Structures are given as C-alpha cells and as structure tokens.
Amino acid sequence: MERKQVSSSRIRSVGYDAATRRLEVEFNNGDIFEYSPVPEDIYRRMMSATSVASFFEDRIEEEYSARRVR
C-alpha cells in the first residue's frame, strides 16, 4: 500500500485501500499499524485535519481493530 507523508509530530505517513477499507499508519518511530474497517470518509477527514495526530487519537486509535505490520 502506498502511503502519503504527513506533517505530524507522531505520524510519518498514512495509506488507505478503499477496496479493503484498510488504513495504514506509519509512526515516526518506524512502527506501522493497519486499522480496519475504516470508512473512506474517515480517511479523507484525517488527511485534511489540522492535526493528523489528534484526529487519529480521537477518531481512529481506539475505534478500529489494529494489527501491527512492522
């Protein structure tokens, strides 16, 4: 999955696969986690948020199933 770099104190890049509704988040420490099933509008709102990290913490981190990729 291709990820886009974001400007964030905690998150390095974010990727999304609409077909599988998987959101992939690469953190600044190198960890990569996959979250699912994340609706596409949540991904879009995260990418346009003033603070990507705050949106992630408030709307994704505890709401969706996570799997460590790396």
Q: How far apart are CA 1 and CA 24, in angstroms?
A: 8
Question: How many residues in total does the chain contain?
Answer: 70
Collapsing DSSP states into helix, strand and coil, what is residue 12? strand
Predicted pLDDT at 37: 98
Residue 52: count of CB within 10 angstroms of its CB:
19
Tokens 């099933």 sit on residue: 37
Predicted pLDDT at 1: 84
pLDDT tens digits, the chain, 70 residues: what are they?
Answer: 899 999 999 999 999 999 999 999 999 999 999 999 999 999 999 999 999 999 999 999 999 999 999 9
- Six-digit token string for 64: 């969706």
pTM: 0.94
